[in-house]
Chain A
């Protein structure tokens, strides 16, 4: 299956990030067309396109917009989730660096559709370059009369605020993001009320991922049929896949949904040194791992679910046989322990405990009974936590145990660094170390 560059089509143009560069390739044409339409018609188009959220959960975007009560006389807000902090996920930041105007154009069209007069782009604070690129794009758009009052004579007013986060994974969770944006400590909010009814400043709010919003101009410009020619019935369209790990050419590959991992891996130049794939994750650390036998599955929301995992952010991470799965799982749990916001008991305490136990295995001092304890601790977290971070923290271990139980047993007596030379797994180690 060929690659289908859309958002990434002109990434090699050195000035794509400027408004002139973007316009040279048809940028802001969609906006002009959108402003001629009724906002509801745009919501209808996005519904018909079947676009699903690219932030991880894959929620149908048009349906989400439709939840916002219209003509209620209240302020509406659009919030773009650009907090991309999931281990392995690196697609939103490249989009913002290379093609920020696609995001900005999407923001203007979406705001028009949901009748928001303020939009916020909440960007992970650790990537000042992305913040600068997007802030610059917003400034250029404002100077060009595309943001501000009476945009292109349509009577539509919009202000766009670029906000940098302060370094917490949980602030990517949409309601924690809203709290953070309002100036509070980022912790998820109790739902209901859902953001579509009472979100930012208790007003109806749509929260979408960067890639979701960057899709919008292309769908409006080229139409539903064009969009639906890619992908499957349930997963229409294309996806900015970010492939990482022990592949020869890690990077961004935009392809139709439904491409298999094997095909994507080919695009990425195969595994380094021709080593076998040991395990891989379709979309960030929060989705259960698969193995080499799953490489031919289509990368769609439905096929990944059927395989017991999730497409997630669509950013596959591949690991070769130099990697200790015990160590990988321990690192992820350390991440979740560190990023747990602390609000709810299962995630706060569970990640602390499981991490402690896993670290014993990493050092070869785990006790065999502890494996069951970790399993039950994961069961006590999953589905019992306040937000999806807890659920995510409970996934790596059970998935790893499904495929690599023996490795955990071995780690009851031998430190993993003795079984797996850590240097061999380094990507930067160079051929000599391998």
Chain B
């Protein structure tokens, strides 16, 4: 657990006080709790309700200690130390020891003897502390209190009430940390129990944390319940592959199968928490796996040996050479992305490469090259926590980067009104971060930013005041990857950051995007943010790669939609494709056409997909648990991790690419240490960078129809969430959101359905009134029953029509 003070990070700098613990003197920051001071001396005071990141409740009374001058024993978890205070723990105080033993006896009275079948058995704070301070035999002869077991507090979280020790960790987590106060303690006395309101399950994105911090086996997950015993597990520290928040995780496996994942403590990033996607979405790794290489013969794929498949792939790609293109995808480790970046330039001699399997733009590529690629992590989680203001642009942290959400919520509990969000919709997430909402229709965001620069006014918010606040030291602007949807927005963001001096960070959604950017898997960019068009940059890279600089492409290649368009016209001789899904592109049919029309396609994939179906050579690659690697968080912080499933022989993408390169007589590193060494040897780039884009904000032309707003919900139809129905059942429902005015104008009846139509088709779904910009409809981007790109054929900011969709 993290040792931080509940009274805030500022404590580190605060004055210190001298106290004694069991007669031993120690200096601690003012405001330190007795239980933390004892920890510093290595004295473990029993505890259940105490948690360093939750406000103290002093409810369980397991931590009673003696405080000089106080008649009664005091709870160490709530005792704020003052200068000169003398405390005595169980180590030196019989009163404290007896008090602790008494509480432990009480805690065990009604506790069931479930240990042999309880998930917590073997890693249970109650078991462990009962061994420390419990009696060898029980004096309790009455009937134990029982409850029907278990009940579901959500589709994922189960509760065995008789195991609960009423520590209120779960309820405080829900209320204080997640801001989802759907778990509450109900009833009183020995009947007190955790529960939810009748029609309001604990559908929090962070619900799994309660299972982890429950000090007994009262809360369990449907996914892990009865699956394993802790002492049978092999645990490996890992990094989450689901988003750019970059949570530290612990992955537990048994006999080659992953059984569960836990949040692993990292005070700098995820503290003690993670989100349910990172915790529960790992079953996809075992599903639909490709087990052998495949090659196309007479129009159909057939299994092939590795040497044969590698040879065919090498031959086809070499033939295409600089005429080939590379679609790397955003889910790669940095090492794998580097493998693609290097292979494209050094082996194929092409710069037609992109990792962005989503809506993207030229302006974005230029912005990333100018401001983000290869830059050190300066805007960090800690910076967010301390910032006097955080401006969110095209970013809904609760859905798109949950740990940013938790940090901003944490900051806002101490300093409300820190967060300001520009968005077409006022969301619950914003309320939980105590955010100020700056409404902007999709497409109008850049104009709002320019408005801030010029100090105008918008609704009740004074833009001049916002600008002044952004000029304060430590101010931060966070821009999400969705900013690429809006022409001029990233330019405006950079302009505002330059004008105010505010720190600027770009927050992609996928875990691999920032690493891929820094590794150079984007046309025009070599590793470390080096412009490909810069001769010095090319020289440095060529030296590190051991090749002649003259063999590197010198003109920036194609990326994004133009690359797909060229391929769909048959102008790309071969495509090397990593893990992408057509449905993720703003025009899924264009992506499909690109792959279909290209004469030779090599697909490196973990599982059978639409791409592998169309490929000429399919080479199976390792899932994240089968390899080591590094993800970069949105901050640019490297998060290296080790291999979980060690017996597995699956090769990483970079390993496979290295085999193809070797086949072509161009040796290149394929294992993680060598890749890291080579990438590291390049060092940071200090030369000139690309210029910041200067696309002007678009004038919003009045339109008759409705404008589409959309982003991906955290839990949706993503391929990496497959095979985990309990998790899927806690996803937010697929609903459209509209303002009351827009809905009534369109004649939508309350609780009825709405049909949203775009150029390709329509979706019909329930709608909910929301506080949002008029004449805008918000849809989940890729949720069950609503795929904006595939079903509507419209992009965010485009025009759609809404009509009543009948009764629900």
Residues of A at under 8 Å CB distance from B?
168, 170, 185, 190, 337-346, 348-353, 356-357, 373, 376, 379-380, 383-386
Contacts and interface: CB of A to CB of B under 8 A. Distances in A.
Contact of B102 (A185, A351, A384): A384
Contacts of A349: 106-107, 109-110, 190
A155 to B, nearest CB: 33
Contact of A339 (B58, B61, B188): B188
Given A346-B106, A349-B107, 14 more contacts: A343-B192, A344-B60, A346-B103, A348-B106, A348-B192, A349-B109, A351-B189, A352-B189, A352-B190, A380-B106, A383-B72, A383-B73, A384-B73, A386-B61
Contacts of B448: none
Given A339-B189, A340-B189, A342-B187, A352 B110 contact: yes
Contact of B109 (A185, A353, A386): A353
Contacts of B714: none
A352 B146 CA distance: 13
B142 A357 contact: yes
A384 B190 contact: no
B222 interface: no
A112 B185 CA distance: 38
Closest 4 CB pairs of A and B: A342-B192, A380-B102, A356-B142, A349-B106
A348 B142 contact: no
A57 to B, nearest CB: 15
Contacts of A170: 188
A392 to B, nearest CB: 14
A379 B190 contact: no
Bin the interface of chain B by size: 35 or more
A80 B187 CA distance: 26
Contacts of B58: 190, 344, 386
A334 to B, nearest CB: 11
Nearest to B190: A352
B140 interface: yes
Nearest to A359: B142
23 contacts: A168-B188, A340-B188, A341-B192, A342-B166, A342-B191, A343-B57, A343-B166, A344-B60, A345-B103, A345-B166, A346-B103, A348-B190, A351-B189, A352-B142, A352-B189, A357-B141, A373-B139, A379-B102, A380-B105, A383-B71, A384-B72, A384-B73, A385-B61
Contacts of A352: 109-110, 142, 145, 189-190
B451 to A, nearest CB: 35
Contacts of B103: 345-346, 380, 384
Contacts of B165: 345
Contacts of A379: 102
B189 A344 contact: no
A341 B99 contact: no
Nearest to B184: A185
Interface in B98-143: 98-99, 102-103, 105-107, 109-110, 139-143
Interface string B403-440: 00000000000000000000000000000000000000
B189 A337 contact: yes
A170 B102 CA distance: 23
B188 A344 contact: no
B59 interface: yes
Contacts, number: 99
B672 interface: no
A386 B106 CA distance: 14
A350 B106 contact: yes
Contacts of A337: 189-190
Contacts of A342: 166, 185, 187-192
A185 B194 CA distance: 13
A421 B335 CA distance: 87
B346 interface: no
Contacts of A386: 58-59, 61
B78 interface: yes
B56 interface: yes
A102 B73 CA distance: 41
Contacts of B188: 168, 170, 339-342
B62 interface: yes
Contacts of A351: 189-190
Contact of A346 (B102, B141, B143, B190): B102
Contacts of B102: 346, 376, 379-380, 384
Nearest to A357: B142
Interface in B186-232: 186-192
B190 A340 contact: yes
A81 to B, nearest CB: 19
Interface in B156-174: 165-166
Nearest to B101: A380
B59 to A, nearest CB: 5
B64 interface: yes
A384 B100 CA distance: 9
B433 to A, nearest CB: 21
Contacts of A380: 98-99, 102-103, 105-106
Contacts of B99: 380, 384
A287 B236 CA distance: 57
Q: Which of A170, A356, A384 has the most CB of B within 10 A?
A: A384
A278 to B, nearest CB: 29
A289 to B, nearest CB: 23
B137 to A, nearest CB: 12
A357 B141 CA distance: 8
Given A190-B56, A380-B103, A346 B61 contact: yes
Contacts of A346: 61, 102-103, 106
Given A345-B165, A353-B140, A379-B102, A384 B110 contact: no
A380 B187 CA distance: 24
A356 B143 contact: yes
Contacts of B189: 337-342, 348, 351-352
A384 B64 contact: yes
A383 B73 CA distance: 7
A229 B142 CA distance: 54
Interface string B43-64: 0000000000000111111101
A168 B188 CA distance: 10
Nearest to A350: B106
A386 B75 CA distance: 9
B248 to A, nearest CB: 31
Nearest to B48: A345
B82 to A, nearest CB: 12
A385 B64 CA distance: 10
A102 B60 CA distance: 42
Contacts of B64: 384
A144 B272 CA distance: 59
B73 A345 contact: no
Interface string B18-29: 000000000000
A64 to B, nearest CB: 20
A190 B78 contact: yes
Contacts of A340: 188-190
A211 B109 CA distance: 41
A314 to B, nearest CB: 24
A343 B105 contact: no
Contact of A353 (B60, B106, B166, B184): B106
Contacts of B106: 345-346, 348-350, 353, 380
Q: Which of A337, A339, A352, A386 has the most CB of B within 10 A?
A: A352
A385 B184 CA distance: 21
Contacts of A338: 189
A198 to B, nearest CB: 14
A316 B528 CA distance: 83
A338 B191 CA distance: 9
Nearest to B60: A345
A346 to B, nearest CB: 6
Contacts of B141: 357
A316 to B, nearest CB: 27
Interface in B714-734: none
A335 B139 CA distance: 23
B142 A343 contact: no
